[in-house]
A and B are shown apart, each in its own frame.
Chain A
Amino acid sequence: MNKVYPNAEEAIKGIVDGMTLMVGGFGLCGIPENSITALVRSGIKKLTCISNNAGVDDFGLGLLLQNRQIKKMISSYVGENEEFERQMLSGELEVDLIPQGSLAERCRAGGAGIPAFYTPAGYGTEIAEGKEVKVFDGKPHILESAMKADFAIVKAWKGDTLGNLVFKATARNFNEVMAMAGKITIAEVEELVEPGQLDPNYIHVPGIFVQRIFQGTHYEKRIEQKTLRPKPQ
């Protein structure tokens, strides 16, 4: 079976209006830049996007927001994004905010065949409203359900043609669990190699979770908060 696609335009075929997508990344770190650009060009609308953040105005998922292609965002922190704020306050955009650890675990559970789990995060707060509460070891926990997506779109540093993935530094973040939770997972990689060229001991996502893979191009890798310390004299 061939998992290799020539480019993002081909790899996103099958994504249609109204679908739910998981999009990897933390802030602008480790986001699937090529696939997002292809989604913008495709004009596909009414998307539900599950992603820790929502990009910035002119980069990342912010590009899809500008184009009014997202109907609902499911995130933990939506940050500094004016267009997002405008759409949210005007009611054009639905937003579901989820504690970051619960978001990660709900993706992992979705990929791991665990329909729901109990967590203490959010107990006693408004996000617990309507959720089942159970006490373990004297401490209340709330029931959170697993999440899956029609397509999960992730970005890795290296990948092989069988779909095995390796990430670099903190660009790993949500990419790993989201790769597990897509009915179809698309991985874009900076470097696509042949089987055997990645050390099996250092694979982060085994290829079984990845259905489509392509080598991305022209990564901008924008830095959101360039923070430096002064050079010693």
Chain B
Amino acid sequence: MLDKTGIAKRIAQELQDGWYVNLGIGIPTLVANYVPEGMSVEFQSENGILGMGPFPFEGEEDADLINAGKQTVTLKSGAAIFDSSMSFAMIRGKHIQLTVLGAMEVSQDGDIANWKVPGKMVKGMGGAMDLVASADNIIVAMMQTDKEGNSKLLPKCSLPLTGVKCVKKIVTNLAVMEIKDGAFHLLERAPGVSVEEIRRATAGLLVVPGEVPEMKL
């Protein structure tokens, strides 16, 4: 079974040289730490950065330079700054090659819910609805079950949706799956996890091929 770092490492294997990538808050942010050696990937932050660098050293933080999670960050050499409408022009205009974000629920049709729990404080969708509606390549990073063990991969989302039919790939603590033709298709197992465990943690339709390789990290 993977921890959050393991999920991030596995997603980092999906990166390709020259890609522009938007990482959401939480597990997705960790992906930036595992860019394969020798590969050039530029991270976009929707508050207006292309070429986002690591967190600053003590004393080098700048209140005018933050990421979309409002954390202090730095700029890589060759970074660009722009305003919010330009930022979402990049996103909506499909200039970003990969979007990685978290989810509370994903359905077998690729619907995603990650912004609102009825009855609880609603904080807002931020840029998530724009990102999922436009990106061609979305990877969802998530734990496959909630704290009570209930599956978060469902036939239909029960929570208010963030977007419809948009998620193509999921990396969880248990597995890598692809979503197509109204089902979750199992591609890889996390180290030490059996197909049976994955099946038990998937409430939606799961398609299992004859041979399911264990992921290599």
A226 surroundings in chain B (CB, below 8 A): 61, 71-72
Is A89 within 8 A of B121, CB to CB? yes
Query: Does residue A107 face the partner (Cβ distance < 8 Å to B)?
Result: yes
- B24-78 with Cβ < 8 A to chain A: 45-49, 54-58, 61-73, 75
- B150-174 with Cβ < 8 A to chain A: 160-165
Query: Does residue A145 face the partner (Cβ distance < 8 Å to B)?
Result: no
Is A125 within 8 A of B129, CB to CB? yes
Tell me what chain B mostly uses at the interface: helix, strand, loop, or mixed.
loop
B129 surroundings in chain A (CB, below 8 A): 99, 101-102, 121-122, 125, 127
Is B85 within 8 A of A105, CB to CB? yes
Partner of A175, one of B57, B83, B91, B122: B83
Is B82 within 8 A of A172, CB to CB? yes
Is B57 within 8 A of A229, CB to CB? yes
- Interface residues of B, count at CB 8 A: 52
Binary CB contact string for chain B from 86 to 97 against chain A (1 if under 8 A, 0 otherwise):
011001100000
Query: Does residue A76 face the partner (Cβ distance < 8 Å to B)?
Result: yes
* B54 CB, min distance to chain A CBs, angstroms: 6
* A233 CB, min distance to chain B CBs, angstroms: 12
- A1-46 with Cβ < 8 A to chain B: 26-30
Is B63 within 8 A of A122, CB to CB? no
Residue of B nearest to A172 (CB): B83
Query: Does residue A221 face the partner (Cβ distance < 8 Å to B)?
Result: yes
Is B55 within 8 A of A100, CB to CB? no
**Contacts A29-B63, A99-B127, A170-B47; is A228 near B161 (CB within 8 Å)?**
no
Is B56 within 8 A of A229, CB to CB? yes
**Contacts A97-B124, A175-B83; is A124 near B65 (CB within 8 Å)?**
no
* A191 CB, min distance to chain B CBs, angstroms: 13
Is B56 within 8 A of A101, CB to CB? no
Query: Does residue A212 face the partner (Cβ distance < 8 Å to B)?
Result: no
Query: Does residue A108 face the partner (Cβ distance < 8 Å to B)?
Result: yes
A35 to B83, CA, bound (A): 21
Partner of B81, one of A76, A77, A79, A169: A169
Query: Does residue B178 face the partner (Cβ distance < 8 Å to A)?
Result: no
Is A169 within 8 A of B65, CB to CB? yes
A210 to B111, CA, bound (A): 43
* A53 CB, min distance to chain B CBs, angstroms: 8
A79 to B58, CA, bound (A): 25
Residue of B nearest to A231 (CB): B57
Is A227 within 8 A of B55, CB to CB? yes
B163 surroundings in chain A (CB, below 8 A): 123-125
A105 surroundings in chain B (CB, below 8 A): 85, 88
**Contacts A76-B124, A172-B82; is A27 near B66 (CB within 8 Å)?**
yes
* B107 CB, min distance to chain A CBs, angstroms: 11
Is A174 within 8 A of B130, CB to CB? no
Is B71 within 8 A of A26, CB to CB? no
Partner of A77, one of B56, B65, B126, B160: B126
Query: Does residue B123 face the partner (Cβ distance < 8 Å to A)?
Result: yes
Partner of B71, one of A79, A177, A225: A225
Is B83 within 8 A of A176, CB to CB? yes
B54 surroundings in chain A (CB, below 8 A): 229
- A201-231 with Cβ < 8 A to chain B: 204, 221-229, 231
Is B70 within 8 A of A225, CB to CB? yes
Query: Does residue A161 face the partner (Cβ distance < 8 Å to B)?
Result: no
Query: Does residue A171 face the partner (Cβ distance < 8 Å to B)?
Result: yes
- A147-175 with Cβ < 8 A to chain B: 157, 167-175
* A159 CB, min distance to chain B CBs, angstroms: 15
Give 12 A-B contacts (CB < 8 Å), ordered by A residue: A30-B64, A77-B125, A79-B123, A79-B124, A104-B87, A170-B48, A170-B65, A170-B66, A173-B48, A204-B83, A223-B66, A223-B72
Q: A97-B124, A100-B84 are in contact. List 4 more A-B contacts (CB 8 A).
A: A101-B88, A119-B130, A169-B81, A176-B83
Q: Measuring CB to CB, which residues of chain B are less than 8 angstroms from any residue of chain A?
A: 45-49, 54-58, 61-73, 75, 81-85, 87-88, 91-92, 111, 121-130, 133-134, 160-165
Q: Measuring CB to CB, which residues of chain A are less than 8 angstroms from any residue of chain B?
A: 26-30, 52, 75-79, 85, 88-89, 95, 97, 99-105, 107-108, 119-127, 157, 167-177, 204, 221-229, 231
